[in-house]
Amino acid sequence: MMKRWAIKTRKFYQLSLLFFAVLLFCIYSLNERTTDNKSALVILTFAINLFFSSICFFSSVKKYPYSFCVMFWLFSIVFFSVAPLVQYLASWSAWGLSATDDEITRCNLLISLWQICFYIGTKINFRIQSINHKEYYLRFSGILIVLAISCAFSAILLYTNGIDGLLFRGSRVGISSNSTLSLLFFHVFRNTILYTFVFTLLVPKKRKTKRFLCFIAGFLFLLTCFPTSISRYMAGAFYFGMLIIFWGKDNCNIWFTILVFLGLTIAFPIFSIFRKIQTISSLNNLGALANQAVSESFLTVNYDAHNMFISVRQYTQFFGFSYGRQLLGALLFFVPRTIWPGKPIGTGAMVISSLYRSSFTNVSMPLIGEAYVNFGVIGIVLFALAIGTASSYLDKKYWMCQSKIQTINIIYPFAVFYFFFLQRGDLLSSGAYLIANVVIGVLVSQLTTRRIKKI
């Protein structure tokens, strides 16, 4: 039987109070930036979405301390309710976007449809067969092989980036961030090192070399995946996932949920300052940069998902829908442009370059925007239903699994946090990074484990 986790009533209210306290703090941080003459209808649509997503969030948390559904509702609260409401009250918008109250209202109604369809999708039940009829064992020879591979990958990363490049993201040189080679270096290599560390932690204690192997793998992980040297979404996925591996999923409780909430809503913007730090000596400006990040609260392009959804709706009014072309480009991300010259660029880059003629195209595009640019309102309904169904299925399968070294038990803790940032998008890049993490996790699992049927 699956060990179910539920919040006691008192702790449930504690979590609720903490959430609304943080919400009030964020809105209060506007100080005198709030302007008058704001539409009551716009504020009402924000409030409706906030209320619905909050109820679903707390309902999901009562069931599991972390899950794909929890991440969906947490993203909806922060990026589709709180942040855009703060921006609207302050008359601030990302990338110089100009939107009327009517456009914002229509956008919020479509977000309501997106949330309702996702919720309906989670209620579509599939029978999940028992996945505990097989026993899994670690292959010690496999552990040594992946550890040797990780040593080689770490040496390449150190040679390519230098020590500053492995400590601070802003000093990274040598490889274009948009190249296929970059994907190989910064995602395949690092994910291999990550999962090597995970499996060394699972080596039985009776092995005399366990501590030595863990020390080597842990050192390589910290050296190549230091939180200030990788992107925020990767740092969040890696370190929250590792926290679950250390604690064990059955030991995660209300405090873990609180930690995740604070990390993804407060630490997320603060970590953006490390893009501006290039060397160890640059740490002298850390205090001033951190103060600026906190004082700006949600009034930064870090929370541009709602603005970008409005932009993609404006884009379709001029250029029409892509009818699956953008989705096909995301699914076939691994096909190089030398073979497919007409391969679509990321949806966020396409929208901002077309509407604003901007040379800076490293912007987000939320999943609802990807759904809309491909098939319009029908796309929103179909995408939300599919994502909701898949999320509910994976959540149930993971929490039913008992074997600590079964593949889903290893990959899920990282994938669930990747999903949070996949929702911000765009789908072409973040989807590729999620798939890279899952594929590498499966490959390392195949090398390091063997499966024996129970008799």
Other Cβ atoms closer than 10 A to 286: 13
Place of tokens 């008992």: 402
The pLDDT tens digits of the residues spanning 186-245 come to 788 899 999 999 999 888 777 778 888 889 999 999 888 888 777 778 888 888 888 888
pTM for this entry: 0.84
3-state secondary structure of 340: coil
DSSP conformational letter for 452: E
| Mean pLDDT, the chain, integer | 79
* 349 pLDDT more than 80: yes
The pLDDT tens digits of the residues spanning 25-61 come to 555 554 445 556 788 899 889 988 988 998 898 888 8
Question: Quick one: tokens of 270?
Answer: 């603060």
3-state secondary structure of 218: helix
Q: E strands of 23-126, at which residues? A: none
Cβ contacts of 60 within 8 Å, gap of 6 or more: 67, 69, 70, 73
Which whole-number Å values give the CA distances from 298 to 27, 266, 308, in the listed order?
Answer: 9, 10, 15
Q: Evaluate whether 220 touches 195 at the Cβ level (below 8 Å).
A: no
Separation between Cα atoms, residue 186 and residue 198, nearest integer Å: 18
Cβ contacts of 156 within 8 Å, gap of 6 or more: 185, 189
* 295 pLDDT more than 70: no
| Residue 406, pLDDT score | 83
The pLDDT tens digits of the residues spanning 325-338 come to 998 888 888 888 88
Range with the lowest mean pLDDT among 141-145, 209-213, 224-228, 277-281? 277-281
Other Cβ atoms closer than 10 A to 5: 19
Phi, psi (degrees; rounded to nearest 5) at 439: -65, -45
Other Cβ atoms closer than 10 A to 198: 24
| Residue 142, pLDDT score | 87
Range with the lowest mean pLDDT among 105-109, 260-264, 316-320? 260-264
The pLDDT tens digits of the residues spanning 400-426 come to 877 777 888 899 999 999 999 899 878
Helices (H), 320-346: 325-331
**Pick from 261, 255, 363: nearest CA to 312:** 363
Domain definitions of the chain by residue range: 296-334+346-375
| Residue 73, pLDDT score | 94
**Pick from 437, 404, 443, 410: nearest CA to 421:** 437
